[in-house]
Amino acid sequence: MRHTLALAARGRGFVEPNPMVGAVVLDTSGQLVGEGWHQKFGGPHAEVFALAAAGDRARGGTLVVTLEPCCHHGKTPPCTDAVLKAGIARVVVAMADPFPKVAGGGISILREAGKDVHVGLCEPDALALNAPYLKLIRTGRPWVHAKWAMTLDGKIATRTGDSKWISGEESRRRVHELRGRLDAIIVGRGTVVADDPLLTARPAGARVATRVVISASGDLPERCHLRTTAREAPVIVYTLDANAPKFRGWAADGAEIVAFPDAMTLDAVLADLGRRRFTNVLVEGGAGLLGSVFDERVADEFHVFIAPKVIGGTGAPVPIAGLGAAQMAEGLALQGVTFAPSGADVYVHGFARGM
């Protein structure tokens, strides 16, 4: 099963909004005779690849799979049909699939057909692997990654606003790699004005992330990288008045303008991204937006790059603004934290809750 989970992870960035799934087939002697993983959205599922590789050797054997086999017609036929046709005798599943069209149905079909089905092997690892998929199904909101780079004294720019570059080349490479497997990259108006970012993955990754700007006022630059490249990679601007004259040029250049006439909240933005079936989104700042992410406790995963630089300055901005915690006990203690060298920097990675 651990090998199967490693196979499943190869689909990261390619399969969303589907879950990552891996499968292996063991013959009657316990020899591994076929393996596969879900490789791209809309493509064959892991079980299909593994059973095809095993061929006749699957008959009477065991299927080990990280997620309950599907039992409905979607972009591909039901995997339960393939399992039954292959003559598999035993199925070992890491976790049930909560997707409403499956939700235990695949397991029931296999058991009713007389198959020996075991569920729960390495379940915590399977749940962690597909946490973004599970959150989208459960809440209708995508998994939120929060990222920033800061100096050793906790600054994200100098007192004059200069921020290029705090982190080194290796850290920036890691960020581009992260961008290349996510559905959206979110910034606030201040970041667009101050940094004029492109927000693309360079080199290109498995996905082309939608660039998202949150700006209640809509007071955005007439010319900037996001606007001039809106037909090359999608741009969505969330604001209060989509019909404001200042947006006509942005819309004409290919940006999508989405308005929340009554009130614009971060949760409303995330709900809209969830309706688009975005599974993973990255908040890159600045301090005001990251402050809202912290105050509203919507971040799930953190990527922080700490550079061995000290710039000082009372007026130099820090990563997290907003209201903040009143008591130390109200602070967020990350779970599953790891520390890794990233060139001269340190990459800190962790989660808002246990995985």
* DSSP collapsed to 3 states, 100-141: CCCCCHHHHHHHHCCCEEEECCCHHHHHHHCHHHHHHHHHCC
Inter-residue contact 143 to 277 (CB < 8 Å) = no
Integer Cα distance of 3 and 327 in angstroms: 44
- CB contact at 8 A, 151 and 310: yes
Buried b (16+ CB within 10 A) or exposed e, 29-53: eeebbbbbbbeeeeebbbbbbbbeb
Give CA 116 to chain center in angstroms: 34
What single letter denotes the amino acid at residue 164? K
What does the alpha-carbon distance between residue 93 and residue 209 come to, in Å, rounded to a whole number?
A: 32
Helices 46-54 + 79-86 axis angle, to 10: 20
Please give the distance of CA 118 from its chain centroid, rounded to a whole number: 29
Bridge partners for 116 per DSSP: 90
Rounded Cα gap, residues 37 and 104, in angstroms: 21
Can 256 be counted among the known catalytic residues?
no
Of 47, 68, 284, 301, which residue is the catalytic one? 47
Residue 12 tokens, joined: 């990261």
Angle between helix axes 105-112 and 79-86 (nearest 10 degrees) is 20
Catalytic residues: 47
